[in-house]
Chains A and B, each alone.
Chain A
Amino acid sequence: MDGPLVRCDNVIKIHKQGALEAVALQGVDLEVRPGEFVVIVGRSGSGKSSLLHILGGMERPSAGRVVVAGTDLTSAIGADIRHHFRRNVGFVWQEFTRNLVPYLKAVQNIELPMLLAGVAGERRRRRARALLEVTGLQNRAYSRVNVLSGGEQQRLALCVALSLGPRLLLADEPTGELDTQRSLQVYELLRRLCSEGGLTVVAVTHDVALARRADRVFHLQDGKFRLDRRVRVKRVVDIGADGGVHLPPELLAEAMMTDRANAQVVEEGILLHRDAGSG
């Protein structure tokens, strides 16, 4: 597929609770290409989880249009949503209990979505073994969930989320309950799955370390993306001793910059943006 895997056009979400109405998203536009690792950051109540729920098909937007892997979630009905769950998306949540069925063994947890989707037994087992191997949990296949460490549980949650081979992985604070060491393991895994497996990842996090590893980071504030923080392509560049910076041509092309740019010092560093007169 050449087009974006995820496309949100002017998505608005209003939560109603009795007479009260709270606007969670106020016209969000988003496009994510296949294989991208996108991170959405923002403060509590900024609308991160709402956006993730909408992309996951768990909530319907109040207005706007959302298309994920060709499924228009704005008008999806029960069967479409089920298909969306089974074929398009996989979920990893912060709390282990939301990811795994506690009374099943590791391999059974991985097999469960496939069982529900009607995958044959041999295929289920093969796929489960493969996923365990990828995540380095092959020795823990027949362990119960409660004896796994936090990192192992989260890796296992990844296995479960990926068991049906979804094209999009939605992760809500996937490292929220992990220490730094285990968080890094999970990041590496996600990164690897994106670059090698062609998986698209949209993660919601507060974790700066994770955001750094993303292809793009979106800052959500009061239900809207902050435009100045919208990162489309990211590269590491060297700063010369004289303060000169060499920007790769593809980066300039992406930013549609030619010969001039305005430099502005912001909180995190120096921000370059197109000069009004530049091309």
Chain B
Amino acid sequence: MRWVTYLGLVLRRVWARRGMLLGSFLGATLVIALLAVLPLYEASVSAIDLLFTFRQAPDATVDLNAALTLTEYSPEEADAGRDTVAAASAAVAAWYPTVEERTVSRELVMIPLEYPDWLGLAAAWREAGSPPEEAPWPQPPREASQTRLFTAPDLAAGLALLEGGLPEFVDPAGSAAPILEVVIGEELARLNRLEIGDRVVLRAFASLPREFEMVEVVGIARPANPDAVIWDGIDPARLTFLTPESFDVWTGAFAADPEADPWQRTERGFRRLTATRSFTLHLDRETVTLEAVGDLKQAILYFRGQIAREGGIILISQLPGLIEAFGVRTVVFGAPILAMLALVVAGALYFLIYMAALALEREAAELALLRMRGASTWQTIGIHSAQSAVIALGAAVVAPFVARGLVALSGRVPPMSTLTGGSPLSVSQARSVVPFVLAGGILTFTAMGLAIVPLARRGVLELRALASRPARQSVWQRYYLDVFLVVLAAVVLYELRQRGLVGGTGREVGLDPFSVAAPALFLFSGALLLLRVLPLLLRAIGWVMTRFRGMAAALPGWHLGRNPVPYGRLALLVWLTTGFGAFALTYADTLDASYHDRAAFRSGGDVRLVAEGAGFLTVPEGAVGTPVYRTVGAARLTSRSQQVLAVDPAAFVRVVHWREDYGDLALLGPEGLGEAADWGVELPPGTTALEVEAVQEPRTWAAVEAGEGAEQVRLLLRAVDDRGRLRTFVADAPLDDQAWSTVVVDLRGTAARNGPFSDDGGYLVLQALWLEREPGGTGPAVPETRVYLGDLRAVTGAGPVSVFASVQEEFAGLQGLEMEMVDGEAAVARFFAERPAGSEAPSAAALRDHPLWRSGLVARLAVPERARPQEVPHLARPAEPLPFVLDAEAARVSGLAAGQSTLFGVDGKQVEGWVAGLVELIPTAVDPRLEGAMVTRRDGLVQWLSGAPSWSISGTLAKWTQPQEMWLRADDINEAAGRLAGQLATEPDELLTTAGVSAEFSSRPIQVGLVSILFIGTGAGVVLTLAGVTAYVLMAVRRRFREMGVLRALGLRRRSVAATFAVEQLVVLGVGAIVGIGAGVALMRLMLPFLQLGEGGAALLPPALMQLDWARLAMYLGVVAVVLVTAVLWSTRNVSARQLSEVLREVER
């Protein structure tokens, strides 16, 4: 019963002090709510992030692809695999309700029947009765197409027929000469000019010559839905489709009637055919929830294990990786979120303690009364604790709702509202909030309850004194605990800097709990230390103020100087708020700038387009562009690779996004990488062709008479246009070996072997000359021969211009080709060196009249015999050593310093070069597998890598080093990007814009969540400070009624009294606010190393730089100032409202 009475007493006490305790309740509610927000907010933001992750990921990433590869396909094994997958997929069926099956063979070559006429050859062979091993088995031509056999249970649904019909199952047993019916993809039909009814031979690569099948095209199709799961990873336009039954029967061996088979085979079928049966489990994205994401990962691992153990089936899925990346991101970005929340909680906790202390000061008189009436220490503590418990309990009941409200509200506040569309954030709950609410309840109860302990032991008179004179030093200061805490915070911060924000082993990333506590610990310990320093500062300010004559300044000055401790506590509250606000603003600005810097670093320029030949696209009007060739190389030929960027220096420095801390940008311009490389002989403007006066070293007269044949050779040349494109041209005729002749090389863009190119009036530079045997086919690419060059003339509108002298001067024979100047008579001398028996040597006049005779010097090229795999002997200008600019990591790995010469390995070739300079970072070098980056000239590198031409008279030209990237700097980025990409026939491999990449970074829900929580914390801080300041000022006003009365009695006007009071409070608040801004900025500086962590848990590239937007800080300070001034003025309104008679009565008391 007594307990009920006690409780009644406590409840009455709470009710009686409701005004003051409301502040404590507000603080307690916020502390508990913010603790409850931890799991809710983190889960809610993570849930959105997960949703985004899964929605944005392509099917290929989230689907499961179980593949059973059979080196010799058998239907039984394939069906067993299906059963295994069906059984194991029960584990993942909740997320993967549908399974798509397909069976695809390895590549087969497609052999046309017409050229040569294989059926005719077979018939002739049969008639000749030759032995079977000499059978004319169809052989693939050099230009043979490849295809793969494809089947699926619902094939008909997946195909849209363009011509013909669907294939029927043809039972080999049902006919003497069965022909497999197939449908082919449209691209395959186009390449091979196949029509309905055409027959073609298909043969597996690994099979024997006799193991092939002739198939009949019954239809030409394209996929009904190109994005359908069954086409994943393959190009349906090049497939050969057949029914599942046909696939099963025709991929095995079956008996054949030799009489009905043109090649007299007794066994047919695609034997030894490697095929893969795939089962694609399609993810239903709606089923993925945050709570179940761990289960999903486990289920996938179980599924993988089951199918691998029982069926030897491999699971190809990027989903575990995706989930892992999501997990890493959650940890990496969860850490700052938690740290921010810890900061807010710490601030709210301070507010709570502050309010509890204020409340206790008011209760001191009552405590004295209780002590006097016989209350023991424990009874005093008990009554106060019960009061704290009532408040904590009430707060704990309300807090979960507040927490949910706060989380939901964050969805309506920018920047989160940009993701949620302004609707409340859907609250997810991955973990129970009960432990957090309990912890919050205990924390708030302790914070409020502990304040009574030192008071409960005090005597009656001490308590009475406390009621009229606030406390002096706190226990923290008395025992130097504040200094200890600061040292502890410093140690923790140092440790964190050493260890990093996120730790873990292997691929498991875990959050270091220190990292969450560190900022709060720092802020809190700093605040406590400030509690020691602020009174001194305020005392000094007070002393200065007393020097003023006006009462409004002098009186507050006296007060500040007399007992600055309580003012210090008030200033500290403001300090915490403005400190957190400044920290939040600086953090958000830094994060924003970092997103932009990272986007700029990743995209290089405003726009970066990656596609084959992208470097040769036309730069849109109004933009500046530069082609970039990107490859991998190694400085000093070490095994440690670097990213290599080959650029056009002059344009590159105008386009690249560069930050000062990357180094000296001029090093990447002409100043560092030098002027344009000398490709060879610049042809006169308007050159349309090159006339080459030449003769192949003639057969001797005797050989001609003996009827010996000559190996004909044809001249080829390569020219570089003004964009750095290598154009390959072929002479219009082979070189004659019986007379000097002129061959013409058409240099128009349309005539290029690797063209066509548009001629836009730019210059051409002759880069290489070489020879090739005519015609092509088997044998050496070029026979050992000699060629005499008499003249090379550029054909221009103004007539021919000889460039022969330039060629002799600039070019050298490379890859074994030797060039020397010889007498023009050398060719005719060679002809008559062996004469037919009985013939007479020609006279000098006859020699001069001979078509092989030429006066003066000619160039003789001695061409060694070379096979196709060998490099081409050619005439060209040798490449010169290249300048390289290395980034810090590349320099460290290679141990190279500026000015050093060495060999660089690029694209598998050795390149001579020297280090032109060092920079810290090179944009776009973000590949974590590489160690650093290097930049060099593009034209120079192409000379080294592709300076040697390829054999090309009839075959496909070898690809040469072409820039696959185009970087742009433009005013209207989106328009420029669109116009650039619009020039491509196909989708680019990559199209990056700074704005796009930045948006991709900053729109990640988890990042957005981080910024949102900063703003929520800042808002909460302002509200708490508002409440704290109002409570303090109201209490101070009440406590000092008597003093005000004295001032009024002395003749001060009401407004003057209010003004002195307001000035006093505002000076304190101003000091707190200004110091707080400084502290927030300092905290940000300390926290900066912990921001250097990207989504994947790796260090940020480029590192984030702290951003200080003073205008925004000033604006924030202004808002806080307005709020606080309003609070102070509102609270002091009582001072000016009181009548003189009232205040005089106070004086009398």
Contact = CB atoms under 8 A, between A and B. Distances in A.
Interface of A: 53, 56, 58-59, 78, 82, 85-86, 91, 97-104, 108, 111-113, 115-118, 121, 160, 164
Contacts of A111: 5
Contacts of B366: 101
Given A82-B374, A121-B1, A121-B5, A53 B365 contact: no
A103 B16 contact: yes
A115 B2 contact: yes
B365 A117 contact: no
Nearest to A97: B365
A113 B461 CA distance: 18
Interface in B475-512: none
Interface residues of B, number: 26
B374 A116 contact: yes
Given A101-B366, A115-B2, A85 B12 contact: no
Which 3 pairs, one residue from A and one from B, show the smallest C-beta to C-beta distance? A103-B16, A86-B374, A113-B373
A85 B374 contact: yes
Interface string B632-646: 000000000000000
Contacts of A101: 366, 369-370
A118 B2 contact: yes
B312 interface: no
Interface in B372-386: 372-377, 379
Contacts of B369: 98-101
Contacts of A82: 374, 376
A209 to B, nearest CB: 21
Best-buried of B15, B16, B372, B460 by chain A (most CB within 10 Å)? B372
Nearest to A59: B461
Given A78-B377, A97-B365, A121-B1, A116 B370 contact: yes
Contact of B373 (A53, A78, A116): A116
Contact of A115 (B9, B13, B368, B460): B9
Contacts of B6: 115
Interface string B883-904: 0000000000000000000000
Given A85-B373, A113-B374, A121-B2, 9 more contacts: A82-B376, A85-B372, A91-B372, A98-B365, A112-B373, A115-B5, A116-B373, A121-B5, A164-B374
B153 interface: no
A101 to B, nearest CB: 6
**For chain A, what secondary structure do more than half of its interface residues adopt (helix, strand, loop), or is it mixed?**
helix
Contacts of B376: 82, 116
B164 interface: no
B459 interface: yes
Contacts of A121: 1-2, 5
A223 B376 CA distance: 32
Nearest to A95: B1149
B374 A104 contact: no
Contacts of B374: 82, 85-86, 113, 116-117, 164
A166 to B, nearest CB: 10
A111 B15 CA distance: 19
A271 to B, nearest CB: 36
B461 A58 contact: yes
B377 to A, nearest CB: 7
19 contacts: A53-B461, A58-B372, A59-B461, A85-B372, A91-B372, A97-B365, A98-B365, A98-B464, A102-B16, A103-B15, A104-B9, A104-B12, A108-B12, A115-B6, A116-B373, A116-B379, A121-B1, A160-B373, A164-B374
A98 B16 CA distance: 16
B461 to A, nearest CB: 5
A86 B372 CA distance: 9
Interface string B1-36: 110011001001101100000000000000000000
Contacts of A99: 369
A216 to B, nearest CB: 26
Interface string B337-373: 0000000000000000000000000000110111111
A104 B741 CA distance: 127
Best-buried of B13, B15, B374, B379 by chain A (most CB within 10 Å)? B374
Nearest to A161: B373
Nearest to A163: B373
Contact of A116 (B12, B13, B375, B460): B375
A23 to B, nearest CB: 18
Contacts of B15: 103
Interface string B1091-1132: 000000000000000000000000000000000000000000
Contacts of A113: 373-374
Contacts of A53: 461
Nearest to B459: A58
B12 A103 contact: yes
Contacts of B464: 98
Contacts of A58: 372, 459-461
Contacts of B365: 97-98
A128 B419 CA distance: 67
B613 to A, nearest CB: 87
Contacts of A117: 374
Best-buried of B370, B373, B460 by chain A (most CB within 10 Å)? B373
A157 to B, nearest CB: 11
A102 B363 CA distance: 12
A86 B375 CA distance: 9
A115 B5 CA distance: 8
A146 to B, nearest CB: 11
A102 B365 CA distance: 11
Nearest to A91: B372
Contacts of A85: 371-374
Contacts of A56: 372
Best-buried of A86, A97, A113, A116 by chain B (most CB within 10 Å)? A116
A103 B375 contact: no
A53 B16 CA distance: 29
A104 B10 CA distance: 11
A145 to B, nearest CB: 11
Contacts of B460: 58
Contacts of A108: 9, 12
Nearest to A49: B461
A177 B366 CA distance: 20
Nearest to A104: B12
Contacts of B373: 85, 112-113, 116, 160
B372 to A, nearest CB: 6
A91 B374 CA distance: 11
Nearest to B464: A98
A118 B2 CA distance: 8
B1149 to A, nearest CB: 9
A261 to B, nearest CB: 44
A117 B375 CA distance: 7
A160 to B, nearest CB: 7
Nearest to A82: B376
Interface in B454-469: 459-461, 464
Contacts of A112: 9, 370, 373
B112 to A, nearest CB: 106
B4 to A, nearest CB: 9
A99 B16 CA distance: 17
A107 B9 CA distance: 13
